Amino acid sequence: MMHIISQSFSSSSLHHCTLKLFSKTISSSSSKLPHYKTKSQFKWRTNHVFVQTNPLLSLLETKCKYMNQLKQIHSQMILTGIFSNVFASSRLIAFCALSEKVIHFLVSCGFLEDAYKVFDDSSVRDLVSWNSMINGYVRSGRSREALMVFEKMKMASVEPDEVTIIGMVGACGQLENLEFGRKLHSYFRDKCLYFSIPLCNALMDMYMKNGSLNEAKALFDRMDERTVVSWTIMISGFAKFGCLDEAMRLFNEMPERDIVQWNALIGGYVQAKRSKEALVLFQEMQTMNIKPNEVTMVSCLSACAQLGALDIGIWLHHYIKRHKLCLTVSLGTALVDMYAKCGHIEKTLQVFHEMPIRNSLTWTAAIGALAHHGNGHDALSYFLKMVDSGLRPDDVTFLGVLSACRHGGLVEEGKKFFTQMTTKFKIPPKSKHYACMVDLLGRAGLLEEAYELVQGVSNEADASVWGALFFACRVHRNIEMGEKAALKLLELDPGDSGTYVLLANMYVEANMQHKARDVRKMMGERGLQKTPGCSSVEVNGNIFEFFVTDKTHPQSDQIYECLIQLTGHIEIVEYFPYIRYDLLFDSNVYSAW
């Protein structure tokens, strides 16, 4: 037995070893243990005789490095399908049932429910078990449960140590509970306990996640000794809150760098919608011979998605294949999203179907892509498949579903899913969902129904919802309701020059020149300028940005000539019977000014 366990578990021999290990173990204790073949016959064995005679457990008791091997066995069990065999899986858990280590083992495998069962059942719980449970929940993003365990710990009069506090501080970061985080900080300070580097890092991270950059900075400045993690927390914190100059300053200042800080910085630029600069950083990183990893790729693909930079996106896809980067769920999803946003629907679906594992975000990206491409029915059937496979849709998924209905003019389906969203899936609609529904109803000419929906929005409809109604009113020439919507829009956002322009346009179309003049006057009095629209296009890996009536590009004349030809070729689907396409396709709505 000893021999089998201590030999190395190479991937080819592991399966064999695992089976051998189990058959040996089971047969070695067969005199004390009857063979249980079915679920009902099996009983949880945790008696002392079994524990003492179990060689695996005694090894676990002495040397924890076997934990890693146990983990390997476990993952092999899942891969080979043995884990679904109740007998084998229960055996594995039973091997260790009396050991506190099993809690850590189960936690590290993500089996928090099982871990908690063992934890809850055990009569003796040491501090490490408490900490394992708490940190297990925090790492899985289940901080509320971590908090509950912490409360229980307090009731059991177990004094928390530094590791407990680190876990709880992490929970405060996730739950955005700055107040409790500060309390934990002062608890440590008041007890005059030593602030280790991990504790300082955890506190800084908590302050950063709660947006308290100053408190994080103060801690950072006071640290005598810092690790790469300390620097990373500061860089990513500043980057997340858009303080990119500060992030860059720290990045340049830090003594030693690894890939994580590059990723934090690139991710910051992408989140700040400064994707071009993010890609420049990526290039810089490569000239410095730093190997990008999966996380880098995810951010860069997201940058390409924002910019519509298909060529660079394809290059990144090749890079991933060439360098055999692991196609994680995030990376696959980022690829799906990049192809979708760059308008390459075939590749979007190909990558989607090639992915070995997909989660709800992957499905959401695909549904959104199909919706955006006008394949409304496909989007809906993907949604049904997603739900069928047991994945939970979220508010973003429903945005895709509703916009699929909107683009396809599927009014009845839209209404059905909008209702299901709250009743079946318990997802409260946000203003974007309302805006989508108002748009769907509005385009179909159901203005009264749309207006009713706007009135029914909890916490008052925001500008996007009124904007959708205003658009529908303009399309269907309902001046009275359009006026109402526009005035509401001006009340909500008096600085949005677009509303004034569109309202004036509506009046002009309705031959109400005097009212149009009034609106323009109002805009002038409020000192508003029309904001120019901007779009970008990628050609041979270069990204070009164009503003409305922009003539700065050297080939401007040819570009406009091409644009005019393209506009002439656009097939107009007669979806809105009353729409004035000549006005929509006029070089821009602002040209009348």
Partner DNA sequence: GTCACATACC
- H-helix or E-strand spanning residue 116: helix 112-121
Nearest C-alpha neighbor of 503 from the set 495, 149, 512: 512
Q: Contact, 387 vs 393, CB < 8 A?
A: yes
E-strand ranges in 310-443 read none
Binding of DNA by 142 (CB under 7 A): no
Spell 291-323 as b/e; 16+ CB within 10 A means b: ebbebbbbbbbbbbbbbbbbebbbebbeebeee
Kindly state the smallest distance separating residue 225's Cβ from DNA, in Å. Answer: 10
Q: CA–CA separation, 487 vs 494, rounded Å?
A: 9
Strand partners of residue 544: 537
Kindly state the smallest distance separating residue 529's Cβ from DNA, in Å. Answer: 27
CA angle 327, 333, 339 (to 5 degrees): 105
CB-based contacts of 323, cutoff 8 Å, min separation 6: 291
User: Which phi and psi (to 5°) does residue 244 adopt?
Assistant: -75, -30
273 or 318, CB closer to DNA? 273
Kindly state the smallest distance separating residue 377's Cβ from DNA, in Å. Answer: 20
Please, which of residues 485-544 interact with DNA by CB under 7 A?
A: none
Binding of DNA by 228 (CB under 7 A): yes
Kindly state the smallest distance separating residue 286's Cβ from DNA, in Å. Answer: 16
Q: Contact, 427 vs 393, CB < 8 A?
A: yes
* Of the residues 57, 147, 361, 523, which one makes contact with DNA according to CB under 7 A: 361
Kindly state the smallest distance separating residue 299's Cβ from DNA, in Å. Answer: 5
Binding of DNA by 284 (CB under 7 A): no
Binding of DNA by 293 (CB under 7 A): yes
Write the CA distances from 264 to 216, 282, 285, 288, 300, integer angstroms.
Answer: 17, 12, 13, 17, 12
Is residue 544 helix, strand or coil?
strand
Binding of DNA by 178 (CB under 7 A): no
One-letter identity of residue 170: G
Binding of DNA by 17 (CB under 7 A): no
Q: CA–CA separation, 286 vs 199, rounded Å?
A: 34
Evaluated on CA atoms 384, 388, 391, 395, the torsion sign reads positive
Count of CB atoms within 10 A of residue 498's CB? 16
Kindly state the smallest distance separating residue 22's Cβ from DNA, in Å. Answer: 25
Binding of DNA by 151 (CB under 7 A): no
* Of the residues 227, 381, 420, 531, which one makes contact with DNA according to CB under 7 A: 227
Nearest C-alpha neighbor of 66 from the set 110, 125, 11, 5: 5
Binding of DNA by 181 (CB under 7 A): no
271 or 588, CB closer to DNA? 271
Q: Contact, 421 vs 383, CB < 8 A?
A: no
* Of the residues 238, 304, 327, 337, which one makes contact with DNA according to CB under 7 A: 337
Please, which of residues 18-37 interact with DNA by CB under 7 A?
A: none
* Of the residues 25, 57, 93, 104, which one makes contact with DNA according to CB under 7 A: 104
One-letter identity of residue 476: H
Which segment (31-39, 128-136, 503-511, 561-569) binds DNA by CB under 7 A? 128-136
CA Rg, the chain, in Å?
30
* Of the residues 73, 97, 98, 233, which one makes contact with DNA according to CB under 7 A: 233
* Of the residues 21, 92, 147, 170, which one makes contact with DNA according to CB under 7 A: 170
Q: CA–CA separation, 361 vs 377, rounded Å?
A: 20
* Of the residues 70, 115, 146, 202, which one makes contact with DNA according to CB under 7 A: 202
* Of the residues 45, 240, 344, 373, which one makes contact with DNA according to CB under 7 A: 240
Binding of DNA by 295 (CB under 7 A): yes
260 or 512, CB closer to DNA? 260
Kindly state the smallest distance separating residue 438's Cβ from DNA, in Å. Answer: 15
Is residue 421 helix, strand or coil?
helix
One-letter identity of residue 339: Y
Token code pair at residue 399: 């945005």
Binding of DNA by 236 (CB under 7 A): yes
- H-helix or E-strand spanning residue 20: helix 11-28
Using the structure block, give the residue that is written with the tokens 């001006």: 490
Please, which of residues 254-273 interact with DNA by CB under 7 A?
A: 259-261, 263-264, 267, 270-271
Binding of DNA by 100 (CB under 7 A): yes
- H-helix or E-strand spanning residue 535: strand 534-539
Ramachandran quadrant class, 527 (left: phi over 0; alpha: psi -120 to 50; beta: rest): left
* Of the residues 117, 139, 182, 276, which one makes contact with DNA according to CB under 7 A: 139
273 or 477, CB closer to DNA? 273
Please, which of residues 372-431 interact with DNA by CB under 7 A?
A: 394, 396-397, 399
293 or 588, CB closer to DNA? 293
Please, which of residues 43-72 interact with DNA by CB under 7 A?
A: 64
94 or 146, CB closer to DNA? 146
CB-based contacts of 175, cutoff 8 Å, min separation 6: 143, 144, 147
337 or 413, CB closer to DNA? 337
Which segment (81-89, 326-334, 382-390, 438-446) binds DNA by CB under 7 A? 326-334
Kindly state the smallest distance separating residue 422's Cβ from DNA, in Å. Answer: 18
138 or 441, CB closer to DNA? 138
Name the residues that contact DNA, by CB under 7 A: 64, 100-101, 104, 126-129, 131-132, 135, 138-139, 161-163, 166-167, 170, 196-199, 201-202, 205, 227-230, 232-233, 236, 240, 259-261, 263-264, 267, 270-271, 293-295, 298-299, 302, 305, 328-331, 333-334, 337, 341, 359-362, 364-365, 368, 394, 396-397, 399, 432
